[in-house]
Amino acid sequence: MLDELTEKLEKALKKITGQGKITESNISETLREIRRVLLDADVNYKVAKDFIEKVKEKSLGQEVINSVTPGQLITKIIYDELVELLGNQSSELEVNPNGLTTIMLIGLQGSGKTTFSAKLAKYLKNKKQNVLLVAADVYRPAARSQLKILGSQINVPVFSIDESNDPVTISVESLKYAKENGLNTVIIDTAGRLHVDDEMMIEAAKIKERVKPTQTLFVVDSMTGQDAVNSAKAFHEKVDFDGVVLTKMDGDSRGGCILSIRAIVDRPVKFVSLGEKLDSLELFYPDRMASRILG
């Protein structure tokens, strides 16, 4: 994960960590190099620019120039700024203490939404929640059966109305079913399309309005770089969400989306998904991710 980004950052920082004494021009040169590395990793242009400016401001303080280990100090400044960029603290899933917790998942087709819904169900079941999965993706032909198979693998019931093509009705009915059957957590897998389109947004907004979810999570394929950030922006404007799930982090994601998304939509990353297996899910910790990135 993110190996290329880590390698290039290490290389850029090596030039400066080896030096006993550094000058303003050494610092500027290193930061220019790091900016290039970030842009190569597909980090949003403005996010990369702001990041470098912040690091530069801190690095040019006398403290760094006069330090005996200026390189290490700069590395520490970059680490701190990365943690900040990634959201500082981990952000747990919000639950409704007084009743039903409803989690609505939105995102493009193929983002890993259905897989994530089962992963989340397993994660919450392990936390002693009584979970219901809801098959509200009525457009992708295999989505309902895929969810039913996943549900049976983890012993979590799946609510579906096979004869209905109305995701709003399915979602609303699922809440009744959960209440009647003593379940306290509902995860709604909504439909995605291949590209951002108005119809999908209107439908997701309608479900949201009727269900009033405790949390809405936007699921996005981390391998899609700037496209991931653009779709996050579109969903944020049209439907809005409380947190982000980055999937396929086990692949060779260049890192751009991970570093840009929070700054662009101002919503925390809550989970990262690291494979097709149902237990390959991690809570997102900004400090751990920053350490991973810096190697």
Q: Show binding-site residues for GTP.
A: 107-114, 189-193, 247-250
β-pairing verdict for 131-136 and 281-283:
unpaired
To which H or E segment does residue 105 belong?
A: strand 101-106
Q: Residue 214's CB: how many other CB atoms inside 10 A?
A: 18
Burial pattern 189-202, b for ≥16 Cβ within 10 A else e, equals bbbbeeebeeebbe
- Per CB under 6 A, does 167 bind ligand GDP? no
- Per CB under 6 A, does 247 bind ligand GDP? yes
Residue in 276, 279, 291, 295 binding ligand GDP, rule: CB under 6 A? 276
- Per CB under 6 A, does 204 bind ligand GDP? no
Residue in 70, 71, 167, 192 binding ligand GDP, rule: CB under 6 A? 192
- Cα(138)–Cα(145) distance, rounded to whole angstroms? 11
Residue in 59, 114, 185, 253 binding ligand GDP, rule: CB under 6 A? 114
Please report how many Cα atoms fall inside a 13 Å half-sphere around the Cα of residue 231, on the Cβ side. 26
CB of 182 vs ligand GDP, minimal distance in Å: 28
Residue in 33, 250, 282, 287 binding ligand GDP, rule: CB under 6 A? 250
Stretch that binds ligand GDP, among 8-16, 47-55, 242-250, 252-260 (CB under 6 A): 242-250
Within residues 48-107, the interface with ligand GDP by CB under 6 A covers 107
- Cα(66)–Cα(212) distance, rounded to whole angstroms? 55
Within residues 115-144, the interface with ligand GDP by CB under 6 A covers 115, 140
Show binding-site residues.
107-114, 189-193, 247-250
CB of 208 vs ligand GDP, minimal distance in Å: 18
Which of residues 22 and 156 has its CB atom nearest to ligand GDP in the complex?
A: 156
Burial pattern 16-53, b for ≥16 Cβ within 10 A else e, equals bbeeeebeeebbeebbebbbebbeebbbbeebbeebbe
Residue in 13, 48, 274, 290 binding ligand GDP, rule: CB under 6 A? 274
From its phi and psi, is residue 196 left (phi > 0), alpha (psi between -120 and 50) or beta?
Answer: beta
Encoded amino acid at 291, one letter: S
* Residues near ligand GDP, by CB under 6 A: 107, 109-115, 140, 192, 247-248, 250-251, 273-276
